[in-house]
Amino acid sequence: MGKAIKLGVVGAGSAQFSLGLVRDLCLQESLYGSTVTFMDVDQVRLDTITRLASRYVQELGIDLRFEQTTERERALKDADFVLNTALIGGHEPEEAGRRLAAEHGYYRGVRLQTNFKQYALMLSVAQDMERLCPNAWLIQSSNPGYEGCTLMTRETSTKVIGLCHGFYGYRTLAEAIGVNPDEVEWEIPGVNHWVYLTQFRHNGQDLYPLVDKWIENEADRYWAEFKGRFSATQLSRAAIDHYRRVGVMPIGDASRTFSEWYYHSDLETKRRWYGQNGGFDSEIGWGQYLEGLEKNIQRIREVTLDETQRVTDVVKPERTREIQVPIIDAIANDKPGIFQVNVPNNGAITGIKDDVVVEGKALVDASGAKLLHVGKLPGKLMHMVIGPRIAKAERELAAFFHGDHDLLVSCLLLDDYRTHSLEQAERYTDAMLALPWNTDLRARFTKPQRTPLGEYRLEPLEHTPAPEGAPGASPVGARA
């Protein structure tokens, strides 16, 4: 027998994600009897996921209970675990911000608007947990995971574990060289979305020579047929070029959006490096993603409205590749397991401060998550990638803490945003802050702001709801 837990899900209106969570809970017998409280500000989405979840467990005859609320405090009160998958406002304000950035010369946009709003949300959730469920674990499952988890673990006592499934890219690489991914020994350390395959072995044999052989003999044919499928960016020209430059293979998101800016300067450049649709993050690829997302959501709506359909016929009771439920089970029922997580470094990777949240394998049990020792990363990787990435994150977090307008502008002066002039960065920053749903950001980033930078502990931004009908009118919308 296992232990029933109380799980609060913030941003639960994401039907795809939440249904996947329900599937995994249904297949984890040691968590039967648990209560899940879905929280979202979108009442329609909330009703949908609650009804579907209840029908799902009823069809399978499983003892899981579901509640719903639009009040975050109710979802957090006395919880054993909290899962935060929320994206403020959903995709609409993110797309509006991207269009605005494009008008100011930033191709495919700038994430500062989304990032700073997410920092405020994440920090407020962690602070609420200190008060309402101080012994609970927070499983952070929305972006930006690296900066957000670093922020929460520095500024609160809340126990945080960040998760991302990008590390599964190693499986695509293994399949390409003809090795069973389930039999591979791997290590993929770094910081979230910037992780690298430092160990890749099968039965004690180093697999990198087979990767090099695939590049030499198979890559050109693969790229000639490559359509830019989402799962295939792991083997894209960009990923292989980055591997040649750095000396270690980038995995998952490190092979697409978060590699060097010169793979992303315009659509034609993206097509060169990522295939015909320009990869997942081009206007074509992202549009296809949103279109597919809407189709899936529409299908879920149809099932919700048609009580004659069995939900389990549409969403099969099969385990997902997500690891939220296995990690919850490992902690709640003290079942030690090795999982890829994001937690404070605490000496795992040499040369990175202890309070920086890094990603890597960890032993997870009732005591929490303890990273396995990594030691030194390759020097070239640290100099070219990890060091600059940490510096960029620290600049964003400093801007957030201090509300310093000059620091905010300086975040745009980094190479990866391809700013052409100081005036361009200033014009975009002013336009972004002037958006009607960014009242909270305007209040924070007053100008001029030239306060000395010391130790920082500021309260999170108070969210200001967008005007009626504006993108982002929901203060805490689910990610789709």
The answer to whether 264 and 289 are in contact (CB under 8 A) is: no
Do both 116 and 187 map to the same domain?
no
Which listed residue (40, 42, 253, 404) is catalytic?
Answer: 253
442 falls within a domain: no
Q: Is 226 helix (H, G, I), strand (E, B) or coil?
A: coil
Do both 49 and 179 map to the same domain?
no
Do both 153 and 80 map to the same domain?
yes
Q: Is residue 333 scored above 70 in pLDDT?
A: yes
* Domain end marker among 272, 305, 332: 332
174 falls within a domain: yes
**Tens of pLDDT, residues 368-396:** 999 999 999 999 999 999 999 999 999 99
pLDDT at 467: 40
Higher pLDDT, 96 or 134: 134
Do both 157 and 135 map to the same domain?
yes
Do both 319 and 370 map to the same domain?
no
Query: H or E segment at 11?
Result: none
409 falls within a domain: no
* Domain end marker among 402, 427, 452: 402
Amino acid letter, residue 471: P
Do both 26 and 122 map to the same domain?
yes
Q: Is residue 2 scored above 70 in pLDDT?
A: yes
195 falls within a domain: yes
The answer to whether 325 and 28 are in contact (CB under 8 A) is: yes
Supply the range of the domain harboring residue 56. Answer: 6-162+297-332
312 falls within a domain: yes
470 falls within a domain: no
Do both 249 and 381 map to the same domain?
yes
* Domain end marker among 382, 402, 422: 402
Q: Is residue 446 scored above 90 in pLDDT?
A: no
* Range ranked top by mean pLDDT from 124-133, 278-287, 288-297: 124-133
Q: Is residue 92 scored above 60 in pLDDT?
A: yes
What is the chain's Cα-based Rg?
Answer: 22
Do both 138 and 197 map to the same domain?
no
Do both 158 and 170 map to the same domain?
no
pTM given for the model: 0.92
pLDDT at 465: 41
In the residue annotation, 253 being an active-site residue is answered as yes
Amino acid letter, residue 315: V
The pLDDT of 32-52, averaged and rounded, is 95
Q: Is residue 321 scored above 50 in pLDDT?
A: yes
254 falls within a domain: yes
Do both 158 and 13 map to the same domain?
yes
In angstroms, how far is CA 203 from the centroid of its own chain? 32
393 falls within a domain: yes
* 435: Cβ contacts below 8 Å, ≥ 6 apart: 96, 97, 100, 113
Do both 150 and 181 map to the same domain?
no
Structure tokens at 226: 């490559």
Query: Tell me, what CATH number does 251's domain have?
Result: 3.90.1820.10
pLDDT at 260: 82
Domain count, the chain: 2
Do both 183 and 231 map to the same domain?
yes
Question: 134-143, 381-390, 411-420, 448-457: which has the minimum mean pLDDT?
Answer: 448-457
In the residue annotation, 24 being an active-site residue is answered as no
Amino acid letter, residue 328: I
Which listed residue (165, 202, 241, 365) is catalytic?
Answer: 165
